Chains A and B, each alone.
Chain A
Amino acid sequence: MLALLSDFTIQNVIIGAMLLGLISGVLGSFAVLRKQSLLGDTLSHAALPGICLGFLIAGSRNLGAILAGALVTGALAALFMVLLTRTTRLKTDAGLGIALSLFFALGIVFLTHIQATGGAAQGGLESFLFGQAAAILRSDLWVMGTITAIALALVALFWKEFKLVTFDPVFAATLGLPVLALDIALTLMIALAVVVGLQMVGVVLMAAMVVAPAVAARQWSNRLDVMVALAAIFGMVSGLFGALVSATARGLSTGPLIILAASAIVIVSLLFAPGRGLVWSGLKRLEDKRALRGRRVLTTLYRLAAEHKDPAYPAEQAMVDAYYGLETRPVLNRLHQRGLIAQVCHMPEQTPHWVLTDQGIAEAEALLGHRDDTP
């Protein structure tokens, strides 16, 4: 383990993956809350032509130029999408899909052009397509770290504004906040997060990196600050996990492992998060169902007793079963455990019979909200 951590390449991968988890967790929270989960997908695919253009302009695999290019084409794609959906009758989903596929196609055209003319220098460009964590250099980490620091500083600085625009853009507008500018700023920052992740997980899986940590964090809290912090932690843990596993099991790509780790956190959160967890609400529903069944059987016994004008009327179990059309034994047993009914023998019949106890009568009357005539 220690030997692993002291390996230079693995150190780079771990730091890179955690930086990616941090920035995509924080900015993904805003994207998910603003119902723009698939924007990350579009922006990451649209980064490809920018990567190629950055490479063409810089003339080499200069990360700064490549990322700047990715940011520019990502922003152009977002603009193209907004233009299409605002001025025509195409809906958001079509806008996203059009921007995604056309910018990607343009990227492939550039990429094949570079490959046809560039000779050996094009090495490493395809790593942005699928992500190749091991190809990350220490100098790349400085670029990624600077971008992350800038994005986090902006979020901290405009926290109140971003929060308001996310939850109530109309109110934000009436307060005189520049809603459009803030919208654009948030979109650009998601493009920044995408740019950081490209080398790590590639354009395809970046979509999940924006969505997964944020969705997981959303399950644990209703507060934005807690959610953003948790998303950052979940993102970093997924990054760490993916980097470590791919380092120990040679041959497994880092990107998919990070995504699977983040998705596992999502599943655990969906199932077990306090309050919203599906397991808890499922258990609650089961309990409610049992309680309801118990109340219905108890009041049925009470009504039978009332009808027969005999508080100690022994009701036959098979009769109750027939009345409900199902096995009532577990329900009766639970009522028995609570001391509300008692089992009696009603000779000469051999079948089990049940009578209400005094406590059972009181409970049934409380449930019915009234006293029936005799018992």
Chain B
Amino acid sequence: MIQSFFNDPGLMIMTTGALVGIAASLVGTFLVLRGTSMLSDAISHSIVFGIIIVWLITRQTAGPVQIIGAALTGVLTVFLTEALASTKRVKTDAAIGLVFPVLFSIGVLLINLYARDVHIDEHTVLLGEIGFVWLDTITLLGYRLPEAVLWMSVITAVNLGFVLLFYKELKLATFDPALATALGLAPGLVFYGLLILTSATAVAAFDSVGAILFIAFVIVPPSAAYLLTDRLSLMLAIGAAISIGAAISGYWLAVHFNVSISAMMALMTGAALIAAFLAGPRYGLVAQMVRRRSLHRANACRTLTVHLYNHEGETAREAENAAAALRDHLRWSETRARQVLIDSLDRGLITRDGAVLTLTEKGRALAREVLEPQV
């Protein structure tokens, strides 16, 4: 039963994709919130350098040594970037753009020189081959399971453990580094821990999704979650949920259209982001528009009550406070005037008597509130 789960290529591919997504969005959430998400771009490129160096020394292309070696490269990237920026001669973003291409270039040249015939060619490094994850298997506790699934499970567990264990520290270091320092929580150290895990995740994931698509899994699900919620715990959960959904839907779409599975999964995280961007309950574009519209309509009603209030005692009241007058005096179009009248009647702000409009007590109170605000 369990073995047949591990034997199903489709299920294994989806599991790998989902694990990559969960592990990446766990760390990505904090990178996005800190405004340093482009570091994932730098790290994921420069680990090519770490991978080839470790390969030259140990001749291993997977496993814990490879993960640790490349994780150190990721940290080296961030360290070099910060060192370059701290000279004050180069801005941080330019420093990122300088450091990772150098490490990547050295990595590519080393591959050119020493590793032409090995399976670490630049194509797999950048694009990944999630479709073949079920080919490399390992036997554990009597079950044959894909190596990628094993390593991604370990990494996901480590990331989850790190986030759960240091939840308070991470939260404080992200939202208020000054307070975190004052409380002696060493936000810098927490941040470096996060980057080590990001690098380790990138190495574990690069075989299956490649370096560039990994960036999508780090940045996009947390960004989509960020548009949906204000709570950190919910943001982590939603990010993970989006990753799982993207892995499943991406797999089926890719199989249907016969295209790259990992790219389709990445694209599906994008679909989730666009959905959140358009239809998010609070920060979505539609919600923003609806809110603006209802504000607009409420304002029109207030304008109407003020207009009626101003002319209440006057002799010209009959002419001013008539439905027909709104068009000329408030310069409202016919349809708009009708809309505002209906709205105001609905809200119980005015009553209508033939052509003449009269304020209700509630409408009068609203107008007074506008004209004589109680501070």
Contact = CB atoms under 8 A, between A and B. Distances in A.
Nearest to B39: A93
Nearest to A36: B93
A111 B215 CA distance: 19
Contacts of B112: 251-253, 256
Given A38-B93, A94-B32, A112-B263, A212 B223 contact: no
B92 to A, nearest CB: 9
B212 A101 contact: yes
Contacts of B263: 104-109, 112
Given A41-B41, A93-B35, A126-B123, A111 B94 contact: no
Among A89, A93, A257, max chain B CB count under 10 A is at A93
Contacts of A218: 89
Interface stretch (B4-12, B252-260, B343-351): B252-260
Between A38, A89, A215, A256, the greatest number of chain B beta carbons within 10 A of the residue's beta carbon is seen for A256
A148 interface: no
B102 A204 contact: no
B205 to A, nearest CB: 13
A93 B123 CA distance: 26
Contacts of B36: 93
Nearest to B271: A102
Contact of B267 (A102, A211, A255): A102
Between A36, A40, A112, the greatest number of chain B beta carbons within 10 A of the residue's beta carbon is seen for: A112
Q: For chain B, what secondary structure do more than half of its interface residues adopt (helix, strand, loop), or is it mixed?
A: helix
A276 interface: yes
Interface of A is mostly: helix
A96 B38 contact: yes
A212 B215 contact: no
B233 interface: no
Interface residues of A, number: 60
A109 B259 contact: yes
Nearest to B283: A88
Nearest to A108: B263
B98 A102 contact: no
A90 interface: yes
Contacts of B113: 251-252
A113 interface: yes
B interface, how many residues as a size bin?
A: 35 or more
Interface in B234-291: 254, 257-260, 262-264, 266-267, 269-270, 273, 277, 283, 285, 288
Nearest to A91: B35
Contacts of B270: 98, 102, 105
Name which of B90, B102, B266 has the most chain A CB atoms within 10 A of its CB: B102
Contacts of A211: 94, 97-98
Interface stretch (A137-145, A149-157, A228-236, A258-266): A258-266
Contacts of B102: 208, 259-260, 263
B126 A113 contact: no
B137 interface: no
B104 A113 contact: no
B126 A129 contact: yes
B97 A207 contact: yes
Contacts of B96: 37-38
Given A112-B260, A251-B112, A101 B213 contact: yes
Nearest to A92: B35
B91 interface: yes
A263 B98 contact: yes
Interface in A74-127: 84, 87-94, 96-98, 100-102, 104-113, 116, 126
Contact of A97 (B40, B89, B100, B108): B40
Given A204-B101, A256-B104, A278-B87, 8 more contacts: A88-B277, A94-B32, A97-B40, A208-B98, A215-B90, A255-B105, A256-B108, A263-B102
By Cβ-Cβ distance, the 9 closest A-B pairs, closest first, are A208-B101, A256-B105, A101-B216, A108-B263, A105-B266, A211-B97, A37-B94, A97-B219, A102-B270
21 contacts: A35-B93, A88-B277, A90-B227, A94-B223, A96-B38, A97-B40, A98-B273, A101-B213, A101-B220, A102-B269, A109-B259, A109-B260, A109-B267, A130-B123, A205-B104, A212-B97, A212-B98, A251-B112, A256-B108, A260-B106, A260-B109
